Structure 1
């Protein structure tokens, strides 16, 4: 066993609703609002695609998700050879880390961001530098720049950031890329891109024309509602994709996953409705005075800052809402209106000053 494995732990999902009911003695319906899933689910057309092709599950999928790759390439007006798919962004991050990192290499990212950047770097015996977030929950790009040196092999920017929901603007990202050496890949993870309403959010595809080392990651797990089918992708240089593709397992994106993702991607009207509902519900949270304790969010979740995260988590649980507890607060997935109303009422009555 690799020695560095001993400093890591396997991913531990939260307790199931059944286990939580037993632990807290609850006799109410519980709603899972801890993992930033799109509770409205995928497009009906995606469900139909699964049903239509279910008899094909005895066959291996076509390698590399060629139909989906062509669809996205045409829509974004880029070469297909610049796109690589994984079983969710988790696998994309793993493939990049495995292809690039060697002992002595360094990755630079932020504290309080998506944990798989750290996890996979440690597996590959790389050094991990995590720059603290700014007080407003945003990435400290200046701080990250100061840590980039000749040993830096990858820079990870989660935008919007998970778990804070905050974002780096187009102007900020462009200024950052201007100063990063061109041989250092900057991985911009836009898993929550479709939920963004901010006008100054980066056009990372446009920035790639000027900065070929700016690599873009997106997923079908969030706004498209396909978290259970595991489809994520990276858009990078043809050379980088060629090398990552060597690491990719030959049949990593399942047959039904590809059919569903194609159908979901084609149904942009449904996606727009999801975006609209999420934005409306998100505004309800920020309309209350207690929102001064929230980080600004451009996602489908709210991060609530508190010195008493366990108490807030349990208060939300008592009204049937399973959220995610962190050392400095609680992350709340935006749910249906009736669930959000319950959580907002808890937040309005929570003593943040205690």
Structure 2
């Protein structure tokens, strides 16, 4: 009897783990999850690395920190060395998956510094630096979908760098992200770069949309408002998939796909349930369709493996229902444009805070070794 994670994979969902640490790599846990949980990729962010590197029970970084301290490395240089090593080692573990999936999966993401979220040129420079430093074809460089990030996405794709676009909350911004990707492909094609070597995912955040929207619905407090709770996240993601279908069926994308390019797959991020009253696999089983990625924290992965009920495609038949949710939100006074802008601002701020916490703790660790 196949497991729920195997059923999810068979339905077209690539399962990626939203976590990475050196201990997970060296203990064999990551390889075991590939084998037993159908994991075909990993995503990272500054918060994940902060949790790993500063975990007092994890001594796997101590030797490298001591060596870097002896070299007089700064905290930023030390983080760069440690995280790129972890990502490179994880990519090597995923190399057979990358080969078996025709280079679609077997991917690991590493993010540019959150301090660069509003710095186009700085983002482009660091994307190129990370791509060269890690030096693995199955890498994805993570760039946020801020206004400053959009031209950086185009430039990275144009240079042949595969990109994970992160922190997407609104359909409008998602459309801009796909446009940035296609523009980058057009520039890469003009430069003679092999388009088939360039891959990208667009990370559309889900549960955070419900957290922010539900707080506003609770404040409104009417029966009509309360009936809409925990519906915006799935509705928003389903309409994002509809937009993906429309864009990549269009003439512009078709010309690039015919030249060997790959479609930019939607990736469902923030799929751990924040409200304990909700089913713990809600943002997994409710977002099943072909050619998507679902990146899950381990708790959600284990819940999915244990008891998720996978019923096939739960997206493409739900577009009208999703539009009805948004009509209802507008009717009760929810300004969804404001919701998504607040979420983007908060997302960037949280990653910056995690990054600065990590810098401070690594600086302290380096100083203790000197």
TM range (shorter): 0.3 to 0.5
TM-score (norm 2): 0.36
